[in-house]
């Protein structure tokens, strides 16, 4: 059976400790690094005498001491180094995966996420809806997954302050991202109860790679919106758009520079359909629209519009 990378590292460490006279891991590795800089010939001779390649030592073995603990634990468990994508590692996400009995499959998924399905590269997405999804105005799971995939890097942070039953938060966590969700009326234990205007008390500014904003549709909002009491019916839609602009003001601050926001909307079907104001509301917050997708249920009864914008 071939030796694991961790076994090789243990041998390297023992040799390094004996060569440098340093007992601790960090101290021995630091001493080897110093010698590699200060006395190159001596370092190369030592590497050769131990039977390693110089690149292997300098690119891999000398870095192990500095890896986050979950990466070291992964190596300790014999996971192959070549399968670890250090750029994609988020220590917290990795630690959670390692806590599970099926940790290996979970870690595999973190480093080799399922490729985006073919349909997600098309401008119009089709999905299967259900009466329950319709009632909750919730996203179908594959749609939530595709939105996460196209807006958030592996290991990045997704924030969903109107998370409802938490489809986006779950899709993000299952695909190697960190995710946090809240809602005025959460429908899952994963989701924190909070009004979006309190978001800044829960999430630090400029931390999110992706902000998902999925407000109630105009129809459901107008049933309960108190701000409509004094407003003539002809101005109700304008009041709804003010509500959307307010949400972007409340939540936009959590985005990192260059982070993405997905504004998810379903304009009313009766009368005129206004899409431009959603783009305008994003623009007013300094968010640049970069893509637009439309998702239509296979029965044709439901549609969601996704405005994908980026902060500068
Ligand atoms: C369209 S649903 C979101 C559905 C969600 N994406 C899902 O897949 O389950 C809109 C959500 O916004 C929430 N909401 C409405 N006003 C809110 C507010 N001021 N702060 C936080 N959440 C709010 C509602 O409770 C509702 O769950």
CATH number at residue 205: 3.40.50.150
**What number does the ligand 1 atom closest to the CA of 215 have?**
10
Six-digit token string for 117: 């399905």
Ramachandran assignment for 270, one of left (phi > 0), alpha (psi -120 to 50 degrees), beta (any other): beta
Lowest-pLDDT choice from 12-26, 103-117, 213-227: 103-117
**Is the pLDDT confidence value at 273 over 70?**
no
Q: Domain check: are 95 and 152 in the same one?
A: no
**Protein residue closest via CA to atom 11 of ligand 1:** 162
Q: Domain check: are 135 and 156 in the same one?
A: yes
Q: Domain check: are 124 and 241 in the same one?
A: yes
* pLDDT, position 190: 92
Distance from the alpha carbon of residue 202 to the mean position of ligand 1, in angstroms: 17
Q: Domain check: are 102 and 178 in the same one?
A: no
Give the mean model confidence (pLDDT) for residues 27-52: 96
Three-state secondary structure readout of the chain: CCCCHHHHHHHHHHHHHHHHCCCCHHHHHHHHHHHHHHCHHHHHHHHHHHCCCHHHHHHCHHHHHHCCHHHHHHHHCCCCHHHCCHHHCCHHHHHHHHCCCCHHHHHHHHHCCCCCCHHHHCCEEEECCCHHHHHHCCCCHHHHHHHHHHHCCCCCEEEECCCCCCHHHHHHHHCCCEEEEEECCCCCCCCEECCHHHHHHHCCCCCEEEEEECCCCHHHHHHHCHHHCCCCHHHHHHHHHHHHHHHHHHHHHHEEEEEEEEEEECCCCCCCCCCHHHHHHHHHCCEEEEEEEEEEECCCCCEEEEEEEEEC
**Is the pLDDT confidence value at 46 over 60?**
yes
Residues with CB under 6 A from ligand 1: 136-139, 161-165, 167-168, 183-185, 195-196, 214-216
Count CA atoms closer than 13 A to 8's CA, side-chain side: 19
Distance from the alpha carbon of residue 185 to the mean position of ligand 1, in angstroms: 7
Domain count of the chain? 2
**Is the pLDDT confidence value at 234 over 60?**
yes
End-to-end alpha carbon distance in the chain: 52
Q: Domain check: are 158 and 100 in the same one?
A: no
**Is the pLDDT confidence value at 204 over 60?**
yes
**What number does the ligand 1 atom closest to the CA of 212 have?**
6
Locus of tokens 């942070």: 157
Q: Domain check: are 136 and 102 in the same one?
A: no
Q: Domain check: are 70 and 148 in the same one?
A: no
pLDDT tens column, 63-104: 999 999 999 999 999 999 988 877 667 788 889 889 999 999
Q: Which residue has the higher pLDDT, 159 or 228?
A: 159
* pLDDT, position 1: 56
Q: Domain check: are 235 and 130 in the same one?
A: yes
Give the residue from 78, 111, 144 where a domain finishes: 111
pTM over 0.85: no
Per-residue confidence band for 213, with pLDDT thresholds at 50, 70 and 90? very high
* pLDDT, position 49: 95
CA 272, distance to chain mean position in Å, is: 36
Percent of the chain with pLDDT over 70: 97
What rounded mean pLDDT belongs to the chain? 92
Q: Domain check: are 63 and 133 in the same one?
A: no
Indicate the angle between helix axes 69-76 and 5-20, nearest 10 degrees. 110
Distance from the alpha carbon of residue 300 to the mean position of ligand 1, in angstroms: 23
**Is the pLDDT confidence value at 238 over 60?**
yes
**Protein residue closest via CA to atom 7 of ligand 1:** 138
**Is the pLDDT confidence value at 195 over 90?**
yes
Q: Domain check: are 106 and 149 in the same one?
A: no
**What number does the ligand 1 atom closest to the CA of 217 have?**
1
Distance from the alpha carbon of residue 213 to the mean position of ligand 1, in angstroms: 9
* pLDDT, position 275: 76
**In a mutational test of the pocket of ligand 1, which residue from 145, 164, 225, 261 has the highest number of ligand atoms less than 8 Å from its CB?**
164
CA 262, distance to chain mean position in Å, is: 13
Give the residue from 111, 145, 165 where a domain finishes: 111
Give, in order, the Cα–Cα distances in Å from 242 to each of 229, 231, 278. 15, 13, 10
Non-local CB neighbours of 144 within 8 Å, separated by 6+ positions:
167, 168, 170, 171
Per-residue confidence band for 271, with pLDDT thresholds at 50, 70 and 90? low
Q: Domain check: are 101 and 142 in the same one?
A: no
**Is the pLDDT confidence value at 250 over 60?**
yes
> What domain range is 81 assigned to?
5-111
């Amino acid at each position: 059976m071939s030796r694991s990378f961790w076994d090789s590292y243990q041998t390297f460490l023992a040799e390094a400790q004996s060569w440098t006279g340093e007992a601790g891991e960090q101290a021995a590795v630091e001493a080897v690094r110093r010698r590699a800089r200060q006395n190159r010939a001596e370092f190369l001779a030592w590497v050769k005498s131990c039977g390693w390649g110089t690149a292997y030592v300098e690119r891999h073995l000398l870095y192990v001491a500095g890896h986050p603990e979950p990466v070291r634990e992964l190596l300790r468990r014999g996971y192959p180094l070549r399968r670890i994508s250090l750029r994609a590692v988020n220590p917290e996400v990795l630690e959670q995966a390692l806590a599970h009995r099926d940790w290996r499959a979970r870690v595999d998924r973190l480093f080799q996420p399922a490729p985006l399905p073919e349909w997600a590269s098309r401008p119009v997405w089709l999905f299967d809806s259900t009466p329950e999804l319709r009632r909750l105005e919730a996203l179908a799971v594959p749609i939530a997954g595709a939105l996460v995939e196209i807006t958030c890097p592996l290991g990045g942070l997704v924030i969903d302050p109107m998370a409802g039953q938490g489809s986006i938060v779950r899709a993000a966590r299952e695909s190697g991202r960190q995710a946090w969700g809240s809602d005025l009326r959460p429908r899952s234990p994963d989701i924190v109860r909070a009004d979006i205007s309190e978001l800044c008390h829960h999430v630090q500014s400029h931390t999110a790679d992706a902000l998902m904003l999925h407000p109630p549709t105009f129809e459901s909002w107008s049933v309960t919106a108190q701000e409509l009491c004094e407003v003539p019916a002809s101005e109700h839609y304008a009041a709804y758009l003010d509500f959307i602009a307010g949400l972007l003001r409340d939540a936009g601050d959590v985005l990192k520079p260059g982070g993405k926001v997905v504004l998810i909307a379903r304009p009313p079907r009766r009368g005129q359909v206004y899409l431009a104001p959603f783009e305008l509301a994003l623009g007013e917050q300094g968010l640049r629209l970069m893509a637009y997708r439309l998702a239509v249920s296979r029965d044709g009864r439901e549609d969601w519009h996704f405005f994908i914008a980026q902060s500068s």
